[in-house]
Amino acid sequence: MSKMEDTTNTKQSLKKHYLDKLYSTNGKPTYDYHKNKMRIRLHDKFDEVWLQYNNGKASRKEWDKALDNWLRMEQI
């Protein structure tokens, strides 16, 4: 397996993991200002970590932690 195929496979499995966790959440709309700000901040942080992960500057553990934090806030 070439390095390009391995990278593509890793990105696909990462995307599948992300979508599986996203679809399994029971998110509900919240109208609390502070909860919305926290949710948006955690979503932005997750996007930042995902970009860092794609550039090789963040680990999978950091990516998972940012995803879990964001999705936990989505469920509150």
Which sequence spans correspond to the domains of the chain?
32-76
Mean pLDDT of 56-75: 89
State the DSSP string of 9-46: HHHHHHHHHHHHHHHH--------HHHHHHHHHHHHHH
Contact status, residue 60 vs residue 47, Cβ threshold 8 Å: no
**Report for 3-7, 21-25, 60-64: range of highest mean pLDDT:** 60-64
Question: 22-53: per-residue pLDDT in tens?
Answer: 777 776 667 788 888 998 999 999 999 999 99
Instruction: Name the average pLDDT for the chain.
Output: 81
Residues whose CB falls within 8 Å of the CB of residue 66, separated by 6 or more in sequence, listed in order: 42, 45, 46, 48, 49, 50
